[in-house]
Amino acid sequence: MAAPRETASLIQWDDAKGYGFLRGSDGRPKLFVHIRDFELLTERPRQGERFSFEAGQDAQGKPRALHVRRPKTSAPAAARTLRAGPSSLWLIPAFAGYYLVCHLLWPLPPGLWGAYMAMSLASFIVYAGDKRAAQRGQWRVAENTLHGLALVCGWPGGLLAQHLLRHKSSKPQFLRRFWAMVVLNVLVFTLAFTPLIAKLRP
């Protein structure tokens, strides 16, 4: 018979070491929790977030949380509204169409489209590796690396990975920076490879 599930808040979390402590509102001692004890974890735990778990003990008899999960209703409202989903995937074909129009009007460097394809593939692979590391409690890819890939033409692959892999798709702070990189990349592309900058000059 499975142990009853309880809920508690994450009061402490060390992302580098991959462990922290949970504590409920009933005043009981805090429970140790390791990254390996989380199930179906696609985003790193955040201090203050609530989780459901089964109470257990470690080898020394100290209280420990096991089979830890995010309750379905625990996602913050901002995370539910700011999410990379199918509605944002239209940007990939839209940019491809924009690129084609620019190429027909002002021939673009032959290798530019290949750069977008190569960096998008690299970005998708890095996202996949980071999700796998999160699930296994291994060393994670720095978010700045993911943002850097987005900036240097890899954002289409990053956006596709967020949708298909459900990774980094519900963290508002990450998504705000990701979309800033998308806007910056498209702006640089427009200024560098179209006559827009010349038209803006007096």
Give the Cα separation of 100 and 78 in Å (integer).
35
- What pLDDT, on the 0 to 100 scale, is given for residue 184? 97
Distance from chain centroid for Cα 100: 29
Residue for token digits 């409920």?
24
Q: Where in the chain are all domains bearing CATH 2.40.50.140? A: 5-69
- What pLDDT, on the 0 to 100 scale, is given for residue 202? 56
CATH superfamily of 5-69: Nucleic acid-binding proteins (2.40.50.140)
Please, are residues 77 and 107 in contact by the beta-carbon 8 Å criterion?
A: no
Structure tokens at 87: 């509605």
Q: Is 31 exposed, middle or buried (0-12, 13-18, 19+ CB in 10 A)?
A: buried
Span 53-66, mean pLDDT?
86
- What pLDDT, on the 0 to 100 scale, is given for residue 177? 95
Output the average pLDDT for the chain. Answer: 85
Q: pTM higher than 0.75 for the full model?
A: no
